[in-house]
Amino acid sequence: MSIEAKFHLRRSERFTLDVDVTVPHSGVTAIFGPSGSGKTTLLRALAGLEHCPGGYLRVNGETWQGNGRALPPHRRPLGFVFQDTCLFEHLSVRGNLAYGCKRAGRPADGAEFDRVTELLGVRPLLARRPAGLSGGEARRVAIARALLPGPRLLLMDEPLSGLDLESRREILPFLERLHRRLEIPVFYVSHQPREVMRLADHLVLMARGRIEACAPLDELRGYLERIDGEFI
């Protein structure tokens, strides 16, 4: 029960993603590192949004990429929460939530729909347009939209970045609740040590496109606390 990923992707003269990592197929794995360390690129490579020839990705025994073949993003059973939410502005919140359900052959009004919308507190927002949502509300809708099609892996790209303190306080309990209820593995990109300590089970430390360390959170907690101290 693990996720094995190996990618080598030269983006420019100054940046090459070069990772070879195996993480447990459970709980929340935080991908932590400074800006420009390749966290988002790694997440996008996992989703198939970055073209990585020669890459390798195996999720719980199932090969998503390998031997020169790669499943296109729309065939990978994953949910992706983008940093800037990327909600479809031409659809209502309900339309956004139904979009993935329809393509996954799931009903957009059943018990699962109620459970997820309840869990993330988006039920009162269903008739609204994305442009009328606050930052925190839009993030919760984006998370619900990624979860509703029933993915087998959830990828979250800094879901709290760019939010003010109040919105962060509003959304963190939802993420913690998700953490407790979700049965699928989650990759969570962040550069906030406190956020990581609060939410992650496992940690992947990145710098300059490479993986510096990969271990359970408890083993790296001291490192995070030191960084957090320096940060303050």
Partner 1 sequence: MNPELTALWITLKLAGITTLVLLVLGTPLAWWLAHSPARWKVLVEAVVALPLVLPPTVLGFYLLVALGPRGPLGELMALLGRPPLTFTFTGLVLGSLVYSLPFVVQPLTGAFTAVGRRPLEAAATLGASPLDRFFTVAVPLARPGFLTAAVLGFAHTVGEFGVVLMIGGSIPGETRVLSIAIYDNVEMLQYGKAHWMAGGLLLLSFIMLLAVYGLNRRFVLVRP
Residues making contact with partner 1 (CB under 8 A): 47, 49, 72-74, 76, 78-80, 82, 84, 86-90, 99-100, 103-104, 129, 131-132, 145-146, 149
Angle between helix 93-104 and 135-147 (nearest 10): 20
* Spatial distance between the Cα atoms of 24 and 30, rounded to a whole number of angstroms: 12
Nearer to partner 1, 98 or 178 (CB): 98
Q: Where are the alpha helices (DSSP H) in the chain?
A: 39-47, 93-104, 111-119, 135-147, 165-181, 193-199, 217-231
Residue 200 CB, nearest approach to partner 1 (Å): 22
Q: Which residue has the tokens 């309900």?
A: 94
Nearer to partner 1, 38 or 100 (CB): 100
Structure tokens at 137: 């509300």
Nearer to partner 1, 21 or 91 (CB): 91
Nearer to partner 1, 78 or 175 (CB): 78
Nearer to partner 1, 84 or 114 (CB): 84
Sheet holding 153-157, edge to edge: 69-70, 62-66, 56-59, 2-10, 16-24, 210-216, 202-207, 28-32, 186-190, 153-157, 78-81
Whole-number Cα distances in Å, 16 to 19, 53, 145: 10, 13, 31
Residue 76 CB, nearest approach to partner 1 (Å): 8
Nearer to partner 1, 121 or 149 (CB): 149
* Spatial distance between the Cα atoms of 177 and 199, rounded to a whole number of angstroms: 10
* Spatial distance between the Cα atoms of 64 and 35, rounded to a whole number of angstroms: 27
Residue 24 CB, nearest approach to partner 1 (Å): 22
Residue 72 CB, nearest approach to partner 1 (Å): 8
Residue 193 CB, nearest approach to partner 1 (Å): 28
Nearer to partner 1, 162 or 173 (CB): 162
Residue 131 CB, nearest approach to partner 1 (Å): 5
The long-range contacts involving 50-54, CB below 8 angstroms and separated by at least 24 positions, are 50/7, 50/9, 50/17, 52/7, 52/8, 52/9, 52/17, 54/8
Residue 2 CB, nearest approach to partner 1 (Å): 22
